[in-house]
Amino acid sequence: MIESLDTLLDRLGNQLADKIRDGSLNEPVMVGIHTGGVWVAERLHASLGLKEPLGKLNIAFYRDDFTTIGLHPQVSPSLLPFEIEGRDIILVDDVLFTGRTIRAALNELFDYGRPRKVLLAVLFERDGRELPIQADVYGQRLELTADQQVKLTGPEPLLARIVTRKED
């Protein structure tokens, strides 16, 4: 059962605000991973009142599966309107599943510079990790069957539901 998205976004925002207040994050910038992560990041960025604009990361060229699934025909570039070098970065995604998306996002981020710290915030953390990556803060932890996935649609309205993948 998925909790209310407003509740999850409030929970994430409060956890991030605590990290900023306690000094775990120093003047952080926020980067959302295209597409769902950007939708979540837009809301978090506004609620936290961060000074610098939101960054948007498109990891299409960094995925380790694009040779099997192909590239989307309209890949847009990443937009990082601030310096990465030495910064504290809040990296935001909608769902942490295998860890491969986050690995790809880190590869792209490091192409722009070496951050001081990267904190991972996700709306949903689910089981099924393939890489040793975990969220620092998350809205909800889910245990799903192998044929289930979380589907986020948006940006307005922002909705989440659990769907069952159909076998081919």
CA distances from 163 to 1, 85, 145 (A): 11, 39, 10
Please tell me the total number of residues recorded for the chain in this structure.
168
3-52: pLDDT as tens digits: 999 999 999 999 999 999 999 999 999 999 999 999 999 999 999 999 99
What are the CA-CA distances from residue 132 to residues 9, 111, 158, 162 (Å)?
A: 25, 21, 29, 24
User: How many Å separate Cα 152 from the centre of its chain?
Assistant: 12
Q: What is the pTM of this model?
A: 0.92
| pLDDT of the residue at 108 | 94
pLDDT at position 121 is 98
- In words, the CATH class of domain 5-68+80-164 is alpha beta
Q: What are the extents of the domains in the chain?
A: 5-68+80-164
Question: For residue 151, what pLDDT is reported?
Answer: 95
Please report the pLDDT score of residue 165 as a whole number.
83
Confidence at residue 124, expressed as pLDDT on a 0 to 100 scale: 98
Give the H or E element holding residue 46: helix 36-48
Given a cut of 50, the residues of the chain with pLDDT beneath it are 168
Task: Please give the Cα distance from 115 to 127 (Å, whole number).
Answer: 28
**DSSP labels, 14-36:** HHHHHHHHTTSSSS-EEEEETTH
CB 60 within 8 A of CB 71: yes
Query: What is the spatial distance between Cα 120 and Cα 156, in angstroms, rounded to a whole number?
Result: 24
Question: What whole-number distance in Å separates Cα of residue 47 and Cα of residue 40?
Answer: 11
